[in-house]
Amino acid sequence: MNNDKDIAILGVGMHPWGKWGRDFTEYGMVAARAALADANVQWKDVQFVAGANTIRNGYPGFIAGATFAQKLGWSGVRVSSSYAACASGAQALDSARAQILAGFCDVALVIGADTTPKGFFAPVGGGDRKNDPDWQRFHVLGATNPVYFALFARRRMDLYGATAEDFAQVKVKNSRHGLSNPNARFKKHNTVEDVLNSPIVSDPLRLLDICATSDGAAAMVVCSMDFARKHLGSTDGLCRVKAVGTVTPRYPQSILELPDIASDSTAVVPAPDRKYKDSIAWSAYEQAGIGPQDVNLAEVYDLSTALELDWYEHIGLCAEGEAEGLLRSGATTIGGRIPVNPSGGLACFGEAIPAQAISQVCELVWQLRGQAVGRQVEGAKVGITANQGLFGHGSSVIVAR
Amino acid sequence: MSETLSRVPIIEGWFTDDIDAPTLIGSKCPACGTYVFPPRTGDCPSPLCESTTLEPTLLSRRGTIWSYTENRYAPPPPYVAADPYQPYALAAVELAAEGLVVLGRVATGILAADLKVGMEMQLELDVSHRDDEHEYIVYVWAPAAPASTAPVASAGGGRS
């Protein structure tokens, strides 16, 4: 399944996730140096830096590509800075991939890092911004991010018979997966009782159903297959990026998604057959020329436990309404047919927005190389990520070895 | 005391301040007929339509619950939370004629345990919060009175 649209992932690196409140660039530098060392590439040889922006850390966050190029030492390198909310990291990867496939550069550094405030995410910037939909949803409705997560959770309960215990079992599984992950923030094995005894935040979701916000950083060094061949003498056994799906919705977006106050109208144009979050993964499958039956593991965006169940269906691991059954069967636990979030997922990491989509790809690389100590999916050859961002963003990356 | 406060909408132009039959104000494309909420001017959102104008329109007052939740903790500003804070529900309600799902607060005192996907809801008005001079009005969803007990049913006699 190799083709001329492949690029190679030479190296990956992360700074552990946590809540330290230090400058985000400190974390990013640790991740960048780790990825360069893993790739055995010198900073002076990097020709392109694709940064994923953070909007909560002032100007350096809005120009992440340049910020890290300067931190690593100005070298004349070209840069891009991507913002696509939670999909920013994948969009940065896509930017680097396009540069490489177009022949404009051979080797690129993809990087994202964040420092997050405590508590609920609130609109960025102060004042009454009455025309900003983000301001409107908080002021008029009090619609926090967990409100939207809860709407999806409640639908699973009322339509498919999901229970609070099903949601808790997702946390139990992911907390076990992440126990020995050196980059995870939360390394505690939670029980169903732990989850059910935590306070309800947005009914039916409890504190332990909802992911935290974290500090963290992830980076990777990607290159053309020609560069990889010269650098290593061979491309055998290299992890290849087979697809980066970054589609936006098709009108009408009939599902009420974060941060919208209403869906699009289906009165005149019917809703597309493939709903938006399904189309994200399917666009990646089409690029890679494979289907859900070909993947060995998935890293999906468990902003809440219930959203992980939605993702089972969006990425085609089971039909709509069958995710609880798939979870209960053990198929998505390490050792099962299709382990989901072997890294521990957002349940163990919390979300460091611009780094998160990159960290998902880092995990695929460690898994496919057989380096995921204590959480290894045996014999994994193909992995998929799926991620959702606000304002019509989302991403799915397929990596094969 | 409350009669000295002036009654103002929490946000301009999203709903009519009609105590008996409040209605959401959306936009409608004069060319293709699609709907938009919250209301706005400018281009039609449909990629199949080239209209550059939208016109204000009133939306259906009744719809069915697409999903719902309940905020157990006070949302952060710019939400204005009462002190002490009281949990409240939110519902996303599907309006059949317009093909829209509209998120709104649920009327005070009605919580998640009182709701179900598919339940019929109706638009009402509630007080969001007050300051020294104003009473801020917000649209809310409330369980619709069952059709069988609505006054129109007895007036309609043997229609069914």
The ipTM assigned to this model is 0.93
Number of residues in chain A: 401
| Pairwise CB contact (< 8 Å): A147 & B90 | yes
Average pLDDT over residues A284-291: 97
Q: Could you tell me the CA-to-CA distances from A361 to A12, A210, A366, B86 in Å, in that order?
A: 9, 22, 9, 42
Predicted local distance difference test score (pLDDT) of residue A325: 98
**Angle, vertex CA B14, rays to CA B9 and CA B15, nearest 5:** 70
Number of residues in chain B: 160
Please say if the pLDDT value at position B147 is more than 80.
no
Could you tell me if A365 and A374 are in contact, meaning their C-beta atoms sit under 8 angstroms apart?
no
Those residues with Cβ within 8 angstroms of residue B3's Cβ, 6 or more apart along the chain or in another chain: none
Give the confidence band of B3 by pLDDT, cuts at 50, 70, 90.
low
| Pairwise CB contact (< 8 Å): A139 & B138 | no
Predicted local distance difference test score (pLDDT) of residue B145: 82
Residue A259 to chain B, least CA–CA distance (Å):
10
| Pairwise CB contact (< 8 Å): B10 & A140 | yes
| Pairwise CB contact (< 8 Å): A139 & B80 | yes
Please say if the pLDDT value at position B156 is more than 60.
no
List of chain B residues whose C-beta atoms are within 8 Å of the C-beta of residue A136: 11, 38
Residue A81, classed as helix, strand or coil, is strand
Rounded Cα gap, residues A212 and A304, in angstroms: 10
List of chain B residues whose C-beta atoms are within 8 Å of the C-beta of residue A205: 69
Please give the biggest Cα pair distance in chain A. Answer: 60
Residue A392 to chain B, least CA–CA distance (Å):
14
Q: Is A345 on the interface with B (CB under 8 A)?
A: no
Predicted local distance difference test score (pLDDT) of residue A312: 98
Could you tell me if A347 and A305 are in contact, meaning their C-beta atoms sit under 8 angstroms apart?
yes
What is the share, in percent, of chain A residues with pLDDT greater than 70? 98
Q: Is B34 on the interface with A (CB under 8 A)?
A: yes
List of chain A residues whose C-beta atoms are within 8 Å of the C-beta of residue B48: 251, 269
Predicted local distance difference test score (pLDDT) of residue A130: 84
Predicted local distance difference test score (pLDDT) of residue A20: 93
List, for residues A261-272, the tens digit of each pLDDT value.
999 999 999 999
Residue A122, classed as helix, strand or coil, is coil
Give the confidence band of A77 by pLDDT, cuts at 50, 70, 90.
very high
List, for residues B15-25, the tens digit of each pLDDT value.
999 989 999 99
Predicted local distance difference test score (pLDDT) of residue A80: 98
**Over chain A, what is the mean pLDDT?**
96
Average pLDDT over residues A200-212: 97
Lowest mean pLDDT among A115-124, A146-155, A183-192, A326-335: A115-124
Residues in a beta bridge with A244: A397
A-B interface: how many C-beta pairs under 8 angstroms? 143
Average pLDDT over residues B128-140: 96
Nearest CA in chain B to A149: B69
Predicted local distance difference test score (pLDDT) of residue A263: 97
Tokens 């039609």 found at: B44
Residue A360 to chain B, least CA–CA distance (Å):
29
Give the closest residue to B142 by CA, choosing from B83, B88, B98.
B88
Are β-strands B6-9 and B134-143 bridged in parallel, bridged antiparallel, or unpaired?
parallel
Predicted local distance difference test score (pLDDT) of residue A2: 66
Nearest CA in chain A to B118: A158
Average pLDDT over residues A213-226: 97
Give the confidence band of A123 by pLDDT, cuts at 50, 70, 90.
confident
Predicted local distance difference test score (pLDDT) of residue A63: 95
Average pLDDT over residues A22-39: 98
Rounded Cα gap, residues A365 and A399, in angstroms: 7
Give the confidence band of B78 by pLDDT, cuts at 50, 70, 90.
very high
Give the confidence band of A4 by pLDDT, cuts at 50, 70, 90.
confident
Please say if the pLDDT value at position B153 is more than 70.
no
Predicted local distance difference test score (pLDDT) of residue A1: 55
List of chain B residues whose C-beta atoms are within 8 Å of the C-beta of residue A123: 78
Of A203, A205, A213, A261, which to mutate for an interface test with B (greatest number of B Cβ within 10 Å)? Answer: A203
Q: Is B90 on the interface with A (CB under 8 A)?
A: yes
Predicted local distance difference test score (pLDDT) of residue B154: 37
Average pLDDT over residues B127-133: 95
Are β-strands B88-95 and B62-71 bridged in parallel, bridged antiparallel, or unpaired?
antiparallel
Q: Which of B81, B90, B118 sits opposite A143 (nearest CB)?
A: B90
Rounded Cα gap, residues A206 and A2, in angstroms: 44
| Pairwise CB contact (< 8 Å): A200 & B72 | yes
Q: Is B75 on the interface with A (CB under 8 A)?
A: yes
Q: Count Cβ atoms below 10 Å from residue A264 Cβ, excluding itself.
A: 25
Please say if the pLDDT value at position B157 is more than 50.
no
Average pLDDT over residues A216-239: 97
pTM here is 0.94
Give the confidence band of A144 by pLDDT, cuts at 50, 70, 90.
very high
